[in-house]
């Protein structure tokens, strides 16, 4: 694993030669063959959800989804959102990964049996709109767990 890198340059120096990185406008994307621990809250925030709920929300979002990371070992999905966009987030069975949280980010082209992209970051809109994400998770949670009831 690589060290925590809060910011990565849009170009890399390899063998004394500067090479352009794919998606240079997304400096938190690591080069092929590495993973980076990226501090959430700086370049993005993430909503963490279990595999079942994550897949259901992804189906409901369809083309509105931005980048989604899948950790197949822990069966967790991370939906990336804009920094500071998750204030007041309160959706059951999900967790906000914001400031002081690190998210392990795979390179583009990572294999499915490893940490990988369920939805690679589209260069023009890498983040899922938080309002649509909230609606998708609420609907997915209600469909999977039933309506939320108040305790007495």
Residue 22 clears pLDDT 60, i.e. is over it: no
Q: How many domains does the chain have?
A: 1
pTM, to two decimals: 0.82
Residue 92 lies in a domain: yes
Residue 34 lies in a domain: yes
For residue 49, what are the β-bridge partners? 77, 94
pLDDT of amino acid 152: 67
Residue 148 clears pLDDT 80, i.e. is over it: no
Predicted confidence (pLDDT) per residue in 58-106, tens digit: 999 999 999 999 999 999 999 999 999 999 999 999 999 999 899 999 9
Residue 2 lies in a domain: no
Residue 7 lies in a domain: no
Residue 55 lies in a domain: yes
Residue 17 lies in a domain: no
Residue 2 clears pLDDT 70, i.e. is over it: no
**How far is the CA of 141 from the CAs of 33, 48, 55, 116, in angstroms?**
35, 13, 11, 24
pLDDT of amino acid 145: 86
């Amino acid at each position: 694993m690589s060290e925590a890198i809060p910011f990565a340059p849009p170009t890399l120096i390899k063998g004394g030669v500067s090479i352009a990185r794919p998606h240079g406008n997304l400096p938190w994307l690591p080069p092929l063959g590495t993973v980076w621990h990226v501090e959430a809250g700086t370049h993005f925030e993430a909503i963490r959800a279990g595999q079942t709920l994550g897949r259901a929300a992804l189906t409901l979002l369809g083309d509105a989804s931005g980048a989604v990371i899948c950790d197949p070992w822990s069966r967790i999905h991370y939906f990336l959102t804009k920094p500071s966009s998750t204030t007041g987030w309160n959706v059951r069975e999900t967790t906000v990964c914001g400031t002081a949280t690190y998210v392990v980010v795979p390179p583009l082209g990572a294999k499915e049996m490893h940490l990988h992209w369920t939805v690679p970051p589209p260069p023009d809109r890498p983040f899922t709109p938080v309002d649509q994400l909230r609606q998708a998770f609420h609907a997915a949670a209600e469909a999977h767990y039933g309506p939320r009831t108040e305790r007495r």
